[in-house]
């Protein structure tokens, strides 16, 4: 197999563990903390999880291992979208299993939760694992988005586990995947299967965080990858001095990625979806806000700039959310067929105008035609608009162009506006993990085994104190139910892990807010460059600006 020099070097990198996990399994003991309760809706969550609710948080420490020795046969799955470091979670889990007892076995179920249901697996050995150490991607076993949520599915999984003698299942995923892990853990406990379930917090979006989880894995690497590209674009913009770059970054439900990239690179504009919702900003107001920067920079002879746009920002605009709801209602049932049968866009436009309220039609009318048509493309399985398909970076650049045209006619603006568009998404999901993510993920996997060894079920592998050097990290676990609340999903009350949005009174946003007016007018760009894997710790093991500010 042909491999790059970096790839070869990364195979040989030894991830750093928290001090309490170093020195052998026999020297790791448990310190139990207080019993827990869910973040909200305590009585409802407790009723749904009678066997796994309210358990104690735990921390591992140096001391005599008091767990009962037994052969462990563990299954692991990768669930949801890719995030850098996933391979190292599996490597850490495998190494902990093997160092405890060479007879321990690790099954990798392929292509996500469906692998557990279809009993499609690989049994890991040294040769297999060594190909994936410290590398990006989820190609070690693949991933998938099948949800484990019905008793029929759980019964099948229980039979698969029984067939192989599996003692525990580790689910590596985001908020939905770890919600599924909690429900599966409850089923296993209620049915006395003897199988444990442990979750690991993954998502590049950064919205799986709380007082217990400093950050989810993959966020560090993804934002460093995007920030390198944004820095390169900024340097090009400052060299050519003739383009405005609109850069959309991942983050549909929260703006952590956009905010972190802005803190790293200092673009002229960065929209924060949570602020848009808080201030009830309209599309027109957002366009004016960007146009003000374009105009102010043009007055200084700078007809160039960079704007960072979170992927899901339009869903946070109140008037746009109402428009989407009306479109969903307009095309419900057989009306969709009636609409699709119309031969021209003019006739479809008339159909839309007749079906929307006056207020929503006013919003629809100001959208560029291309965006209007995107709203009526493929529907999701529930018949709703797929908002993620909307090219918001093109929407705002077109609206800004209209604003500037009006200002030019009014004689207040005389600059040039030439927009270019970028979407940074898949570029960041499978990058070589940074040292931080390589270390963090390896620790999460190693720690997951310790939770298994001590008999915990329905727990999340937890590594905290992440703003400090790895030796000072704290390893432990907490019941997944602690993070849960009840939300309305598809007309039903469902227990889900509460998503973490950007806190507008938090230190990272406050730092951004204090500097953005200057960044909007000046060229204050920062160029982070590529992720550094070798060299001084202050360069290679650097954590995110978000985490550094939060833990000041």
- Cα 343 to Cα 395: distance, rounded to the nearest angstrom: 25
pLDDT digits (tens, 9 = 90+) for 170-186: 999 999 999 999 999 99
Map tokens 């249901």 to a residue: 117
CATH number of 18-218+433-497: 3.40.50.450
Burial 252-267 (b: 16+ CB within 10 A, else e): ebbbbbbbbbbbbbbb
Helix (H) or strand (E) holding 194: none
Query: Per-residue pLDDT for 380 more than 70?
Result: no
CA geometry: angle 308, 309, 310, nearest 5 deg? 125
Whole-model pTM? 0.95
Residue 349 has what pLDDT? 94
Could you please report the per-residue DSSP string of 128-153? Answer: HHHTSTT--SSTTT-EE-----SHHH
Under 8 Å between Cβ of 246 and 422? yes
Per-residue confidence band for 222, with pLDDT thresholds at 50, 70 and 90: very high
What does the pLDDT average to over 345-373?
Answer: 93
- CB atoms near residue 247 (< 10 Å): 25
- Residue 449: closest CA among 218, 186, 196: 196
pLDDT digits (tens, 9 = 90+) for 52-68: 999 999 999 999 999 98
Find the DSSP H helices in 282-355: 283-299, 318-330, 335-340, 345-355
What does the pLDDT average to over 221-248?
Answer: 98
pLDDT digits (tens, 9 = 90+) for 89-132: 999 999 999 999 999 999 999 999 999 999 999 999 999 999 99
- Cα 111 to Cα 141: distance, rounded to the nearest angstrom: 6
pLDDT digits (tens, 9 = 90+) for 490-525: 678 899 999 999 999 999 999 999 999 999 999 999
Residue 490 has what pLDDT? 66
Map tokens 């093109």 to a residue: 394
Query: Per-residue pLDDT for 384 more than 90?
Result: no
Per-residue confidence band for 383, with pLDDT thresholds at 50, 70 and 90: low
Sign of CA dihedral 470, 473, 476, 480: negative
What does the pLDDT average to over 390-396?
Answer: 93
Q: Is 166 buried (19+), middle (13-18) or exposed (0-12) by CB count in 10 A?
A: buried
Question: Which residues are known to be catalytic?
Answer: 205
Q: Is 330 buried (19+), middle (13-18) or exposed (0-12) by CB count in 10 A?
A: middle
3-state secondary structure of 31: strand
Token pair, residue 197, equals: 């379930």
3-state secondary structure of 422: strand
Query: Domain residue spans in the chain?
Result: 18-218+433-497, 219-429+506-550
In this chain, the answer to whether the domains covering 18-218+433-497 and 219-429+506-550 adopt an identical fold is: yes
Q: Is 151 buried (19+), middle (13-18) or exposed (0-12) by CB count in 10 A?
A: exposed
**What is the C-alpha radius of gyration for the chain, rounded to an integer number of angstroms?**
25
CA 351 → CA 29, 323, 339, 348, 356, distances in Å?
Answer: 68, 15, 7, 5, 9
Query: Per-residue pLDDT for 1 more than 70?
Result: no
- Cα 356 to Cα 151: distance, rounded to the nearest angstrom: 42
What does the pLDDT average to over 405-434?
Answer: 96
CA 525 → CA 237, 289, 408, 543, 550, distances in Å?
Answer: 10, 19, 28, 20, 23
What does the pLDDT average to over 15-32?
Answer: 93
Q: Which CATH number fits domain 219-429+506-550: 3.90.550.10, 3.90.1200.10, 3.40.50.300, 3.40.50.460?
A: 3.40.50.460
- Cα 274 to Cα 285: distance, rounded to the nearest angstrom: 15
| Average pLDDT of the chain to the nearest whole number | 94
Residue 41 has what pLDDT? 95
What does the pLDDT average to over 371-378?
Answer: 84
- Cα 273 to Cα 502: distance, rounded to the nearest angstrom: 9
383 contacts: CB under 8 Å, gap ≥ 6: 328, 331, 332, 336
Strands laid side by side in the 269-270 sheet: 269-270, 305-310, 244-249, 419-424
pLDDT digits (tens, 9 = 90+) for 282-311: 999 999 999 999 999 999 999 999 999 999
């Amino acid at each position: 197999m042909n491999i790059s020099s970096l790839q070869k070097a990364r195979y040989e990198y030894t991830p750093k563990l928290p001090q309490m996990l170093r020195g052998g399994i026999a020297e790791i003991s448990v310190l139990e903390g207080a019993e827990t309760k869910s973040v909200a809706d305590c009585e409802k969550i407790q009723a749904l999880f009678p066997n796994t609710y309210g358990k104690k948080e735990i921390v591992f420490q140096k001391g005599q291992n008091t767990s009962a020795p037994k052969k462990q046969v563990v299954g692991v799955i990768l669930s949801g979208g890719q995030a850098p470091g996933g391979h190292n979670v599996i490597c850490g889990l495998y190494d902990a299993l093997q160092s405890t007892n060479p007879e321990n076995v690790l099954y990798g179920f392929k292509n996500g939760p469906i692998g557990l249901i279809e009993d499609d697996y690989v049994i890991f050995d040294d040769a297999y694992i060594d190909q994936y150490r410290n590398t990006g991607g989820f190609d070690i076993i693949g991933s998938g988005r099948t949800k484990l949520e019905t008793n029929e599915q759980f019964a099948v999984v229980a039979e698969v586990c029984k067939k192989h003698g599996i003692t525990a299942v580790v689910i590596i995923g985001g908020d939905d995947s770890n919600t599924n892990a909690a429900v599966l853990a409850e089923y296993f406990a209620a049915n006395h299967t003897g199988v444990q379930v442990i979750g690991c917090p993954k998502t590049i979006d950064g919205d799986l965080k709380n007082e217990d989880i400093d950050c989810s894995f993959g966020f560090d690497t993804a934002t460093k990858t995007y920030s390198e590209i944004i820095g390169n674009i900024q340097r090009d913009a400052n060299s050519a001095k003739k383009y405005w770059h609109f850069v959309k970054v991942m983050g549909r439900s929260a703006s952590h990625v956009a905010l972190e990239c802005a803190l790293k690179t200092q673009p002229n504009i960065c929209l924060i979806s949570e602020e848009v919702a808080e201030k009830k900003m309209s599309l027109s107001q957002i366009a004016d806000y960007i146009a003000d920067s374009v105009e102010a920079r043009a007055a200084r002879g700078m007809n160039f700039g960079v704007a960072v746009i979170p992927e899901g920002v339009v869903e946070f605009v109140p008037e746009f959310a109402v428009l989407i709801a009306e479109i969903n209602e307009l095309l419900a049932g057989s009306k969709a067929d009636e609409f699709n049968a119309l031969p021209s866009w003019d006739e479809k436009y008339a159909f839309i105008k007749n079906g929307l309220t006056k207020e929503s039609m006013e919003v629809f009318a100001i959208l560029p035609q291309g965006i209007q048509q995107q709203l009526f493309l493929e529907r999701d399985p529930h018949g709703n608009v797929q908002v993620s398909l909307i090219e918001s970076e093109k929407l705002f650049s077109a609206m800004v162009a209209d604003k500037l045209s009006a200002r030019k006619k009014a004689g207040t603006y005389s600059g040039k506006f030439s927009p270019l568009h970028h979407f940074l998404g898949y570029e960041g999901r499978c990058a070589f993990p940074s040292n931080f993510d390589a270390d963090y993920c390896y620790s999460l996997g190693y720690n997951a085994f310790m939770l298994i060894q001590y008999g915990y079920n329905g727990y999340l592998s937890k590594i905290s104190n992440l703003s400090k050097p790895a030796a000072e990290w704290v390893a432990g676990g907490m019941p997944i139910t602690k993070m849960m609340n009840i939300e309305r999903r598809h007309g039903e009350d469902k227990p889900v892990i509460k998503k973490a949005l950007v806190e507008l009174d938090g230190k990272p946003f406050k730092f951004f807010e204090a500097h953005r007016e200057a960044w909007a007018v000046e060229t204050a760009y920062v160029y982070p460059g590529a992720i550094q894997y070798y060299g001084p710790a202050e360069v290679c093991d650097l954590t995110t600006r978000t985490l550094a500010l939060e833990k000041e």
